[in-house]
Amino acid sequence: MNRLLAVSLLLAVSVLAGCASHVSPELRPYTAEETRELALEALNRQGLSFDEYQMKKAALLGQPQKSYGFDNQGEMNAGRAVHLHGRPS
């Protein structure tokens, strides 16, 4: 009886020890795409103005800088003209 109790106790302890041991995931370097996504997420959290955000986003993505600004009527002008039935937008 003592032998059965000792074996079962030993088995239970070994199972619990195996479940409790923390196996850390394999550490690997981030890919370029993952690094870019992390940088964009951090940029979104910074609370920058629109112009600052667009400048930093273009720098991160390696895109040419687009000019954004306001036109004379106080409306947003993204550097493109849209004509609606002969009228300027």
- pLDDT(86) > 80: no
Do the beta carbons of residue 68 and residue 80 sit within 8 Å? no
Show me where the domains of the chain are located: 31-69+76-89
- Scanning the chain, the segments in alpha helix (DSSP H) are 2-20, 32-44, 50-61
pTM score, whole prediction? 0.43
End-to-end CA distance of the chain: 92
The alpha-carbon radius of gyration of the chain (Å, integer) is 30
Structure tokens at 84: 């609606």
For residue 88, is pLDDT > 60? Answer: no
| pLDDT tens profile 16-50 | 777 766 666 668 888 889 998 999 999 989 988 88
CA 4 to chain centre: 54
